[in-house]
Chain A
Amino acid sequence: MKRKEYILNGIKLIFLSIVFVLYIFPFFIVLINSFKERKDILLNPMMMPNKLNLSNYIDAYTKMDYLHAFANSLIITVFSVLLITLLSSMTAYIFVRRKWKFNQFMFFFMVASMIIPFQGIMIPLVKIYGSVGMMDNKWSLIYMYIGFGASLAVFMYHGFIKSIPVELEEAATIDGCSQLQTFFKIVFPLLKPTTVTIAILDILWIWNDFLLPYLVLISPDQRTLPLSVFYFYGTYTIEYGPAMAALMIATIPVIIVYLIMQKQIIKGVLQGSIK
Chain B
Amino acid sequence: MDMEKSFLSKLKTYFIFAGPVTIAFFTVVILPFIYGIYLTFTDWNGISATHSFIGFQNYLQVFKDKVFWTSFLLTLKYVFFSVILINAIAFFLAYLLTSGIKGQNFFRAGFFTPNLIGGILLGFIWQFVFSNILAYIGQHFNLPIFSASWLTDPNKAFWALVIVTVWQYSGYMMVIYISGFMNIPRDLLEAASIDGANSYHRLKNIILPLMVPSFTISVFLTLQRGFMVYDINLSLTNGGPYKSTELISMHVYNTAFLSQQYGIGQAEAFFLFAVVAIVTLLQVYFSKKMEVES
> Residues of A at under 8 Å CB distance from B?
9, 12-13, 15-16, 19-20, 23-27, 29-30, 33, 41-42, 44-46, 83, 87-88, 90-91, 93-95, 97-98, 100, 102-103, 106, 110, 113, 115-128, 143-144, 146-148, 150-151, 154, 166, 169-170, 173, 179-180, 183, 204, 207-211, 226, 229-230, 233, 240, 243-244, 247, 250-251, 254-255, 258, 262, 265-266, 269-270, 273-274
Contacts and interface: CB of A to CB of B under 8 A. Distances in A.
Given A90-B18, A91-B17, A146-B24, A23 B29 contact: no
B25 interface: yes
B264 to A, nearest CB: 10
24 contacts: A9-B101, A13-B102, A13-B103, A23-B171, A30-B125, A90-B17, A90-B21, A98-B10, A98-B13, A106-B22, A113-B25, A119-B253, A124-B31, A124-B35, A147-B25, A179-B13, A180-B16, A204-B116, A208-B119, A210-B119, A210-B120, A229-B121, A240-B128, A273-B176
A6 to B, nearest CB: 12
A211 B21 contact: no
B117 A251 contact: yes
Nearest to A102: B14
Contact of A147 (B24, B107, B125, B272): B24
Contact of A110 (B25, B97, B266): B25
B257 to A, nearest CB: 8
A24 B33 contact: no
Contacts of A154: 21
Interface of B: 1-4, 10, 13-14, 16-18, 20-22, 24-25, 27-33, 35-36, 39, 44, 46, 93, 96-97, 99, 101-103, 107-121, 124-126, 128-129, 132-133, 136-137, 167, 171-172, 175-176, 178-179, 217-218, 221, 224, 227-228, 230-231, 234-235, 249, 252-253, 256-257, 262, 265-266, 269-270, 272-273, 276-277, 280-281
The DSSP consensus for interface residues of chain A is helix
Contact of A26 (B109, B126, B230): B126
B117 A254 contact: yes
Contact of A24 (B110, B175, B281): B110
A44 B136 contact: yes
Nearest to B28: A147
Contact of A210 (B22, B133, B230, B272): B230
B39 A127 contact: yes
Contact of B32 (A29, A94, A124, A247): A124
A121 B99 CA distance: 44
Given A46-B133, A120-B272, A29 B107 contact: no
The 3 A-B residue pairs with the shortest CB-CB distance, nearest first, are A147-B28, A208-B118, A94-B17
Given A45-B136, A266-B109, A273-B176, A119 B28 contact: no
B141 to A, nearest CB: 11
B217 A273 contact: yes
Contacts of A33: 128
A85 to B, nearest CB: 11
B113 A244 contact: no
Nearest to B178: A270
A207 B118 contact: yes
Contact of B107 (A20, A88, A254): A20
B273 to A, nearest CB: 4
Nearest to A25: B129
Contacts of A12: 96, 99, 101
Contacts of A274: 179, 217
Given A117-B273, A179-B16, A16 B101 contact: yes
A23 B167 contact: yes
B2 A98 contact: yes
B272 A266 contact: no
Contact of A123 (B14, B218, B265): B265
Contact of B33 (A93, A124, A255, A269): A124
Contacts of A150: 21, 24-25
B272 A119 contact: yes
Given A30-B125, A147-B28, A123 B36 contact: yes
A150 B179 CA distance: 25
A229 B17 contact: no
B28 A270 contact: no
A113 B30 contact: yes
A208 B117 contact: yes
B118 A209 contact: yes
Contact of A119 (B4, B101, B115, B269): B269
A194 to B, nearest CB: 16
Given A117-B224, A229-B124, A269 B172 contact: yes
A170 B265 contact: no
Give the one of B112, B124, B235, B277 with max A CB within 10 A: B124
Given A94-B18, A124-B32, A151-B25, A117 B179 contact: no
Nearest to B248: A119
A113 B29 contact: yes
Give the one of B111, B115, B121 with max A CB within 10 A: B121
B125 A27 contact: yes
Contacts of B235: 230, 233
